Structures are given as structure tokens and as C-alpha cells.
RNA sequence: GGCGGGGUGGCCAAGUGGUAAGGCAGAGGACUGCAAAUCCUUUAUCACGGGUUCGAUUCCCGUCCCCGCCUCCA
């Protein structure tokens, strides 16, 4: 069994084979650093993080590159509004992005190239296209001559003649053809500018990815990722620039994630329904949030709403609850890895099928269900059950945390930290409760339990005594 | 208008030419003083109409509806 991926370019799923045996080179379009990340960015980040983690887990050596667009019209606009230098804006939001991605549990890219750090590479690429008459300088701008690239439209499946609708193109003054797009933009007074053979200016958006991906990953790298909304024109233009200039394949697989929706609407600034990623992380916690992100296959739309995040929280808790119980019951017994093997196989089969995360999570549910069944026997000290439960818990951590990044271990560690801090207080309350129960004063006993529950402390009365723990769910998720 | 995705049980969501995973919620049961956690049981003619086929939810055609992209966007 091996991974198959749906490739937007060919519109089909096919076995993934890397350019270089054992290695995967992947490039994912990063942010334009002009504002805070929102939950849509988070979905793309998690989708490609999981792809990357899965590739690593199955044995590939992955090189992940994600660019930062640190010069662009919107950055300039924002800088002007704030009366700061664009570089200040770009640096601020680059740091914020990295911090948020870290909080989301996204592995940092191996290379995080900045557009402003690759002016030479971009200019070389532009010059190459000019030399071949596939681009032209006009009025200090440089445009790509779209009609010279016969493959134009192959990614988005658009016929070039259907595109002529869009007449409302802003700086079309110097264009030969309205479809042509800018690779270099001449600087207006007061704008940041870099020297170039065509006059001072700054790079267009698409050119950076063509130049930086090729520089850091080489030609014909394995996977290019990004949101479905980038297919046209961004990715289409990236392909055109590279392939027209070099005559070879730019990227081998194009993977795109679907959009996050709010209800039936797209999340967008104009509608005013953008949820900042930091907010979602604060409300729900990274684990439940990632469970939600993985609740739909990566190419389909995903709706953000309270009910679904609650569901995701419940799922996350089911996993952490099992882990907590399993470890307690298993003790130090050596895990029986054979018991976990079929669940791991099911998980792999799901992931191999174009990263079918919902089915992979279903495999985790099956694993947990099997484990829960064995729990009573394990708690009785039956060795076989203990060994099985131990193996299932290990597998859940390996698949859930290492591959899906669900932060199960971290959630338990965080809870354990709180448990330690609260222990004296909780124990004292539980003594009072025990006394009340002894006296059949259940009203008092239940009131204490309710108070603890309100503080996130769950109390369970077991045959072998009272057990308590701090919930791994956020207040919003309870 | 062009391109693309989708309509599966109360909700979410997989999937297959031979009558449909998993989760959430609900109901019932076991356990409990009551709970919690867990386990067991339980809920679907897969948008509609044709066609192909021994047989279609799955393939083809048409219809209706929803969504995205076509301008910056993960």
C-alpha cells in the first residue's frame, strides 16, 4: 500500500511517487504578512502539516518550504495607514504568523524564504522570459505574455478565450493583452523599491513562488500546495512563469485544500465574519480545533460553527479519556503490539487514499472502542488485557499525535499540571463530599461535585474509590 | 456567461455496480444513591426524473437546489 494523491492538474488521484527516491520536496504557499491569520489559513496549514507528518511517518525525508510574501500592495497600504515602514508591518505579521502556527501545532517549514530576499532569483527568471520574448517591459512594469504559453489554463481548466471577460483590470495601461499579468511593478513615489534592469520597482505576487520554489526545491519538485482559491490565477501563473522560462515541469502534484465556510457563506472580510486563528485557538484549544479541521476530507468545504467544534471537543476528549484510563490500567506491562496492528493498518489505508482524514479518525475511534472494551479486564489486572490496552494507547499517541498532531499527550500533560496545583483543594473538597455521602446528605455531596465540574474537574465514583481529573476540554467545549 | 465541487439517517461525514464506515445528538438497557466514564441495543428506500445493467446510492443524460473560483484571498 502506498499513498495516492489527488492532483488538481490531472484531476485524478494517482499513486504518489517522489522525484528522488525516499525524499519529498514540498512547497506550500504562505501568507502575505499584512494581518493576523484566520481559521481559513489554519485549515490549509493543518492539511499540509498532516500531509507532511504522514509522509515523514511513512519514511520519507521531507523538505518543506513555505514562503512569506513580505512585499505587496496590501502591506504597503497598511503601512501607509499606520504611518510605518512596510518592513515593520511585514516583520510584525511574520512573527505573529509563526507564533500562531506554532500554537496550532504546525511543524515549522524547513525553509521559510522571504520574497524580499529573492529579488535576484526573481529578476533572473523575468529576464529569462524577456529574452525568450515571453515577457515584455512596458513603462517600468514587466508583463508575462500569456498567449505565448500554450499550457496556460491547464491547471484551472480555463480556455484562454473564456478569460477575456474580466475587463476591469487595474493597471492595464501598458499591457499588450488584458490577460497578461505583472511580474514586476514599477514603483510609484514613496513606495518601497528595488533596482532592476527595468527601473526601480517591486516583484509581482506570482513570480516569487516560481523563483523560490525552484531555488529551494529544484525543478519538478514533488508537491505544491495551497488553498483552492489560489488555483487561478496564482498557481496557474506560477506554472506559466516557470515552464515557459525553463521548458520543464514545475511541480509534479498539485494539492489544494477546500475553503472554510461560515454557515453557507464563505468567510471573508467584506462579510465581516472572519474568525482570527488565535481566537479559535483560545476558545477551543489546539487539539479540538485540529479534530474539527480533520473532520472533512481536505478538498471539500468545511463549516465553522459552535456545534461542530463541540462535537470535535467531545471526540478529542474521548481520546484523552481513553488514554488516561488505559495508562492507569496498563501499568508497566509490556505492550502487545499485535493488538494495535490492524488499527494502524486501517489508519494507513485511510491516509493512503488521498489523505482521507475522516476515515483515519474513524480508525482511531475503532481503536479506542476496542480499548475501552478491554479496560475492565485490564483494571482487574489481567495481563493480556493490560498488554493490549497499553499497545492501543501507544498507537493512539503515535497516530493521533505524531501524524495528526492532535495534541493528546499535551492535553493530558496540561491537565496533569493543573491537577497537581489543585490537588490539595480538590482532595479537601472530596473529603467533605465523602463525609456528606457517608451521611446520605446527597444534596451537599452533589453540590460539591457540581462546583468542581464547573471548574473543569470531573469526579467519578468508582467501585475502588473516587477518581478525579481535570477536563481536557476548553470551557467553550464543555 | 465560463470553470469546478457538492446534495447520504436529527446533525457532521466516509464509501461502493450487488441494498451504506465512523462520530455527535436522541431513545432504551447495564453500572451508579444520583451522576460521570464505559459498554450493549436502536434510527437511511443515499435530491428528483429517465437510461445502461441480471442488479445503481455508486455509470450516463436531464432537472432542481447549494457552494466556490473567474479581482486580492488559505
**Hey, what's the cell of A458?**
470531573
Q: Is the pLDDT score of A177 beyond 90?
A: no
Q: Which three cell numbers stand for residue A101?
A: 502556527
Please report, for chain A, how many H helices and E strands are present, in that order: 14, 15
Would you identify the CATH topology of the domain A303-406? 1.20.120
Q: Which residue has the higher pLDDT, A273 or A3?
A: A3
Domain residue extents for chain A: 12-257, 303-406, 410-477
Domain pair A12-257 / A303-406, same fold: no
Our measurement of CA A308 to C1' B25, in angstroms, reads: 11
**pLDDT-derived band at A159, boundaries 50, 70, 90:** confident
Say how far apart CA A289 and CA A104 lie, in whole Å.
8
Q: Which three cell numbers stand for residue A223?
A: 508537491
* Superfamily of domain A12-257 in the CATH hierarchy: HUPs (3.40.50.620)
The answer to whether the beta carbon of residue A288 comes closer than 7 angstroms to any atom of strand B is no
Of the pLDDT bands very low, low, confident and very high (cuts 50, 70, 90), residue A299 is very high
ipTM of the complex in this document: 0.94
Q: Residues A136-147: what's their mean pLDDT?
A: 92
- For the stretch A206-259, pLDDT in tens is 999 999 999 999 999 999 999 998 998 999 999 999 999 999 999 999 999 998
Hey, is A5 helix, strand or coil?
strand
Which pLDDT does position A167 carry in this prediction?
43
- The nucleotide whose C1' lies nearest the CA of A29 is B74
User: Pairing state of beta strands A181-186 and A141-144?
Assistant: antiparallel
A71-92 as b/e: b if 16+ CB within 10 A:
bbeebbebbeeeeeebeebbeb
Look at residue A178 in the predicted model and tell me its pLDDT.
84
Q: Which residues pair with A194 in a beta bridge?
A: A201
Q: Quick check: helix, strand or coil at residue A389?
A: helix
Instruction: Place A172 in a pLDDT band, splitting at 50, 70 and 90.
Output: low
- Cα A196 to chain centroid, rounded: 36
Cβ of A177 near strand B (under 7 Å)? The reply is no
pLDDT for A173: 66
| A477: pLDDT strictly greater than 90 | no
Query: Is there contact between A329 and strand B, defined as CB under 7 Å from any strand atom?
Result: no
Residues A73 and A171: beta-carbon distance below 8 Å: no
Q: Average per-residue pLDDT in chain A? A: 93
Predicted local confidence at residue A157, as pLDDT: 85
CB A33 within 8 A of CB A67: no
Residues A89-107: tens digit of each pLDDT: 999 999 999 999 999 999 9
Amino acid at each position: 500500500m502506498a499513498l495516492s494523491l489527488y492532483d488538481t492538474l490531472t484531476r485524478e488521484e494517482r499513486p504518489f511517487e517522489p522525484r528522488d527516491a525516499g525524499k519529498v520536496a514540498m512547497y506550500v504557499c504562505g501568507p502575505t504578512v499584512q494581518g493576523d491569520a484566520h481559521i481559513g489559513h489554519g485549515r490549509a496549514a493543518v492539511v499540509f502539516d498532516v500531509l507532511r507528518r504522514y509522509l515523514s511517518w511513512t519514511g520519507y525525508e521531507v523538505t518543506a518550504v513555505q514562503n512569506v510574501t513580505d512585499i505587496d500592495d496590501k502591506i504597503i497600504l497598511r503601512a501607509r495607514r499606520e504611518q510605518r515602514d512596510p518592513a515593520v508591518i511585514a516583520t510584525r505579521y511574520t512573527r505573529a504568523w509563526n507564533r500562531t502556527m506554532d500554537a496550532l501545532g504546525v511543524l515549522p517549514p524547513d525553509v521559510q524564504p522571504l520574497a524580499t530576499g529573492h529579488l535576484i532569483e526573481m529578476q533572473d527568471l523575468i529576464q529569462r522570459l524577456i529574452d525568450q520574448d515571453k515577457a515584455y517591459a512596458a513603462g517600468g512594469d514587466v508583463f508575462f505574455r500569456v498567449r505565448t504559453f500554450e499550457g496556460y489554463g491547464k491547471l484551472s481548466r480555463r480556455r484562454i478565450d473564456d478569460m477575456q471577460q474580466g475587463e476591469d483590470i487595474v493597471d492595464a495601461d501598458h499591457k499588450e493583452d488584458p490577460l497578461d499579468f505583472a511580474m514586476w511593478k514599477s514603483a510609484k513615489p514613496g513606495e518601497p523599491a528595488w533596482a532592476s534592469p527595468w527601473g526601480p520597482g517591486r516583484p509581482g505576487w506570482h513570480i516569487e513562488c516560481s523563483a523560490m520554489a525552484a531555488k529551494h526545491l529544484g525543478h519538478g519538485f514533488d508537491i505544491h500546495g495551497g488553498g483552492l482559491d489560489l488555483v487561478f490565477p496564482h498557481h496557474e501563473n506560477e506554472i506559466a512563469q516557470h515552464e515557459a522560462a525553463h521548458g520543464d515541469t514545475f511541480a509534479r502534484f498539485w494539492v489544494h485544500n477546500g475553503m472554510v465556510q461560515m454557515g453557507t457563506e464563505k468567510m471573508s472580510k467584506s462579510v465581516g465574519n472572519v474568525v482570527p486563528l488565535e481566537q479559535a485557538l483560545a476558545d477551543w484549544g489546539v487539539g479540538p480545533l485540529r479534530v474539527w479541521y480533520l473532520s472533512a476530507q481536505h478538498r471539500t468545504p468545511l463549516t465553522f460553527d459552535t456545534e461542530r467544534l463541540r462535537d470535535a471537543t467531545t471526540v478529542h476528549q474521548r481520546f484523552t479519556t481513553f488514554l488516561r484510563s488505559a495508562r492507569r490500567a496498563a501499568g508497566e506491562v509490556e505492550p502487545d503490539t499485535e493488538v494495535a496492528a490492524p488499527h494502524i493498518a486501517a489508519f494507513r489505508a485511510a491516509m493512503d487514499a488521498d489523505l482521507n482524514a475522516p476515515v483515519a479518525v474513524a480508525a482511531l475511534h475503532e481503536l479506542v472502542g476496542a480499548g475501552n472494551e478491554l479496560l475492565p479486564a485490564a483494571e482487574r489486572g489481567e495481563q493480556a488485557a493490560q498488554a493490549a490496552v497499553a499497545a492501543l494507547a501507544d498507537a493512539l499517541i503515535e497516530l493521533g499525535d505524531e501524524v495528526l498532531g492532535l495534541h493528546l499527550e499535551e492535553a493530558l500533560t496540561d491537565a496533569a499540571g493543573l491537577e497537581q496545583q489543585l490537588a490539595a483543594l480538590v482532595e479537601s473538597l472530596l473529603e467533605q463530599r465523602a463525609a456528606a455521602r457517608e451521611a446520605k446528605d446527597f444534596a451537599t455531596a452533589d453540590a460539591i461535585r457540581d462546583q468542581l465540574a464547573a471548574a473543569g474537574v470531573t469526579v467519578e465514583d468508582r467501585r475502588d474509590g473516587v477518581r478525579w481529573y481535570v477536563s481536557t476540554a476548553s470551557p467553550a467545549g464543555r
